[in-house]
Amino acid sequence: MTTQHPKLLDLVRQRIRYKHISYRTEQAYCGWIKRYVIFHQMRHPQEMGRLEVESYLSHLVNVGNVSQSTHHQALSALLFLYKEVLGVGLPWLLELNRPNKPKRLPVALTHLEVQSVFKHLSGIHLLMAKMLYGTGMRLNELLQLRIKDIDFELQEIVIRQGKGDKDRVTILPTSIQTELHQQIEQAKKLFKEDRLQNRIGVYLPDAIEKKYPKANVSLPWFWVFPAANESSDPRTKIIRRHHIYHQGLQRAFKEAVQRSDISKFATLHTLRHSFATQILRRGYDIRTVQELLGHADVKTTMIYTHVLNRGGLGVKSPLDSL
C-alpha cells in the first residue's frame, strides 16, 4: 500500500494556519504559488531555485505589468514557500532584489470631508465608519471585535490578534457609546437565538478553543457585529454565525464618498489615515500614534508627520507676499 503524500498547497495552508496568518493572506499566497508552478510547466518548487524565481518575478513585471506592491506580495509568497514550507536555505532568497516601494503620502480626509461622507451613511454602516475614524482600527480588526473587547468604563477597545498577531489598546470615543450599546443589545438577541437553536458557536482561534472549550458558546466571545445569517467557514466548512462581511460596508462607503462630491480617492482605510493625521494635528506625540495604530516600527508612523507642515514642508509661498 502506497503512502499518499500531502499536496503542496495543502502543506502551504497547514503552515500558514500554524503561524496564525490571516485567511486573506492564505488565499493570496496560495494563488501566487499556484501561478508560479503553472508558469514553470508544473515543475515542483523543490526542483527549482533562484533562476526560476527570478524569471517568474521578471515575467510579472515585464509582461504582467504588475505594480510594485503586487510584485512584493508575490515575492513574499515565494519566500514563505521556500523558507517555511520546503525548508530551503536562505542565502539566495535573501539576495533577491525587492522593488523599491515608492514613498507616497497617505490620503486623509479633513474633518469636514468626513462629516460630509457620514451624512450619506446610516444604521450599522454609519456606526462602523465612525468606529474606524474614531479609533484608527483596520477594517478586519473592527469586523472581528468580540463583546468582551469593549470596555465602556475605561473607554477603551482591546484589539486582539491584530496585524502581526499582536494585541493592543485603542480609544473608545464617547460620542458613539450609546450607538455601540444598542448594537451590542442587537448582537445579544442573535446570541440568544443561536443558543435556543443549539447552533454551533462562533469561530475561535485554535489555542483558545482548546483552552476554553465552551468559550465559543459564551456571550463575551460573541461578535459585536454578527452576520444576520449563518454561513460556511471557508477553512473548516463548518456552518456557523460569522461576523458581518466587509463587502456591504465597503459598497456603502464608496457610494457615500461619491454622493458627497469629495475629489479625493477615499476607501475605508482612508478613515484610518484620517484618524492618524487628526491625532497628530491635536498635538499627540508620534509614539502615542504608533501605539494606537499598532505599527511595529515608528518609521511607518512617521509618514503621517507631513500634516504638521501646513503647505509644502511648512514653507510660505512668495506669491502670498505680493
Confirm if 108 and 270 have CB atoms less than 8 A apart: yes
Instruction: Give domain status of residue 118, yes or no.
Output: yes
Active-site residue (options: 19, 119, 269, 310):
269
Residues 82, 122 within the same domain: no
Distance, CA of 93 to CA of 250 (rounded, Å): 37
What CATH number does residue 132 fall under?
A: 1.10.443.10
Q: Is 237 a catalytic residue?
A: no
Instruction: Decide if 251 is catalytic.
Output: no
What's the domain count of the chain?
A: 2
Residue 58: CATH number of its domain:
1.10.150.130
Residues 125 and 272 in one domain: yes
Residues 20 and 133 in one domain: no
Percent of the chain residues topping a pLDDT of 70: 88
The pTM (predicted TM-score) of the whole model is 0.81
Same domain (yes/no): 169, 64:
no
Catalytic residue among 163, 168, 195, 281: 163
Q: Which residues of the chain have pLDDT under 70?
A: 1-5, 89-90, 92-103, 162, 164-165, 206, 307-322
Check if 15 is active-site: no
Identified catalytic residue from 13, 130, 146, 272: 272
Residue 304 annotated as catalytic: yes
Terminal-to-terminal C-alpha distance of the chain: 90
Do 129 and 248 lie in one domain? The reply is yes
* 1 located within any domain: no
Are 146 and 224 in contact by the 8 Å Cβ rule? The answer is: yes
Residues in the chain: 322
Residue 99: inside a domain: no
Taking the C-alpha atoms of residue 71 and residue 77, their distance in angstroms, rounded to an integer, is 10
Domain shared by 73 and 156, yes or no: no
Query: Would residue 13 show up in a list of annotated catalytic residues for this protein?
Result: no
pLDDT of res. 317: 57
Q: Which is catalytic among the residues 36, 82, 133, 304? A: 304
Catalytic residue among 125, 138, 241, 242: 138
- pLDDT value for 1: 44
The alpha helices in 2-155, defined as continuous H runs, are 8-18, 23-39, 50-62, 68-80, 91-94, 111-118, 123-135, 139-143
Reply yes or no on whether 269 is catalytic.
Answer: yes
What pLDDT, on the 0 to 100 scale, is given for residue 209? 77
Same domain, 149 and 293: yes
Q: Which domain holds residue 69?
A: 8-94
